[in-house]
Amino acid sequence: MTDLRIGIIGVGLMGADHAERVALKTSGARLVAVSDPDTARASALADRLGVRTVNDPLDLIAADDVDAVILASPGFAHAEQLHACLEVQKPVLCEKPLTMDTESSLRVVEAEHKVGKSLIQVGFMRRFDPEYAALKKLLDSGDLGRTLVLHNVHRNRTVPDTFRSEMIVRDSLVHEVDVARWLFDDEIARITVRAPRPTSLVAEGVLDPQLAVFEMANGAIADVEVFVNCQVGYEVRCEAVGELGSATIGLGVDVLTKTTGHWGGSVPDDFRVRFGLAYDIEMQRWVDAAKCGEIDGPSAWDGYAAAAVCTAGVESLTTGLPVEVEMVRRSEVLG
């Protein structure tokens, strides 16, 4: 079978990492083009990887030599670009968020349904992380009884000054939204997001850290601490508490050192270290599935559900009150 020819839109930190992955690591795939508003950055990456640049992202999507598209562009651009991919029926791996709001995400889901096949996979890569996959398998086995509570920690060392309070919900907390839906195999019915006294190391008005509580439709609960300027490093942990025991991942205990009077290990600088293998697995499985006309991961519906939860989360952050998540029923859209 011939290689899947891939174009990437957006070559910032995430997109450039994906470009390297496609070009150098992924079997059965070939990077052919990149596009970014920062043409100098796009050209430098393209020259290094031996591909071409395309100024207009819609031209990249329509190009005859592009079989599939990776969207690592800003979230506000996703809706237009996703609809363009659907119009030409090209598989697309879309980094979160699917779109910036519930309504536009639902329109994407409806448009894909009209095409008649699944073309959109959303980049919730934690589902591909071996630790998260092992936890999912354990919970599904029933060995711990019913899962009652999830405790989550999501910390970044720093983020840019432009990363405001709402973005902490839409761009960081969104991962735990998907994790909770996936591990519980259930929808989030209600969300509360509260902000304690903020760290002094952020701009005026930024609410960081944030604490969130998800109330699942089945009565289970998940809590999340998101702290994107913690100064230490990139930490992501999850503990599942069941009727018959608990399980924890993300402790970083694979390399534990002891020296005179001290013990410990390293904390990753960013997501590329902590979830590098997850991204590798995600990309390979997406390519393999796309070549067969399928997806193998979070769907457009998952992106829509996450957008609905985050929309309610931003409202809760503003009011300090629990907010019901407003979603259409899946059967109303997908039958």
Residues 134 and 119 occupy one common structural domain: no
How many structural domains compose the chain? 2
- Judged against a pLDDT cut of 80, whether residue 253 lies above it is answered with no
Residues 131 and 117 occupy one common structural domain: no
- The reported pLDDT for the residue numbered 271 is 81
How far is the C-alpha of 113 from the C-alpha of 334, rounded, in Å?
A: 7
- Judged against a pLDDT cut of 60, whether residue 313 lies above it is answered with yes
How far is the C-alpha of 8 from the C-alpha of 217, rounded, in Å?
A: 37
Residues 230 and 88 occupy one common structural domain: no
CATH number at residue 223: 3.30.360.10
Which H or E run contains 241? strand 235-242
How far is the C-alpha of 108 from the C-alpha of 95, rounded, in Å?
A: 14
Average pLDDT over residues 290-310: 97
Residues 188 and 323 occupy one common structural domain: yes
Categorize the per-residue pLDDT at 273 as very low, low, confident or very high, splitting at 50, 70 and 90: confident
Which among 149, 109, 104 has a CA at the least distance from the CA of 247? Answer: 149
- Per-residue exposure over 272-289, b if at least 16 CB sit within 10 Å of its own CB, e if not: eebbeebbebbbbbbbbb
Residues 55 and 92 occupy one common structural domain: yes
Residues 103 and 171 occupy one common structural domain: no
Task: Encode pLDDT of 178-221 as tens digits.
Answer: 999 999 999 999 999 999 999 999 999 999 999 999 999 999 99
Q: In what order do the strands lie in the sheet with 68-71?
A: 52-53, 29-35, 4-9, 68-71, 92-94, 120-122
- The reported pLDDT for the residue numbered 212 is 98
Categorize the per-residue pLDDT at 1 as very low, low, confident or very high, splitting at 50, 70 and 90: low
Residues 322 and 285 occupy one common structural domain: no
CATH number at residue 88: 3.40.50.720
Q: Which amino acid is at 137?
A: K
Query: Three-state secondary structure along 56-102?
Result: CHHHHHHCCCCCEEEECCCHHHHHHHHHHHHHCCCCEEECCCCCCCH
CB 61 within 8 A of CB 88: yes
- The reported pLDDT for the residue numbered 335 is 78
Average pLDDT over residues 27-42: 98
Which neighbouring-strand residues pair with 222?
150, 214
Residues 246 and 281 occupy one common structural domain: no
Residues 45 and 135 occupy one common structural domain: no
Q: What percent of the chain has pLDDT over 90?
A: 90
Three-state SS at 155: strand
Does the bond joining 268 to the residue before it have cis omega, within 30 degrees of 0? no
Residues 254 and 195 occupy one common structural domain: yes
Residues 141 and 257 occupy one common structural domain: yes
Three-state SS at 231: coil
- Judged against a pLDDT cut of 80, whether residue 254 lies above it is answered with no
Task: Encode pLDDT of 150-163 as tens digits.
Answer: 999 999 999 999 99
Output the average pLDDT for the chain: 94
Categorize the per-residue pLDDT at 107 as very low, low, confident or very high, splitting at 50, 70 and 90: very high
Which among 276, 272, 263, 268 has a CA at the least distance from the CA of 232? Answer: 268
Look at strands 235-242 and 246-249 and give their pairing: antiparallel
Residues 100 and 150 occupy one common structural domain: no
The full DSSP string for 20-59 is HHHHHT-TTEEEEEEE-SSHHHHHHHHHHHT-EE-SSHHH
Domain of residue 94, residue span: 4-125+277-299
- The reported pLDDT for the residue numbered 272 is 83
Task: Encode pLDDT of 110-144 as tens digits.
Answer: 999 999 999 999 999 999 999 999 999 999 999 99
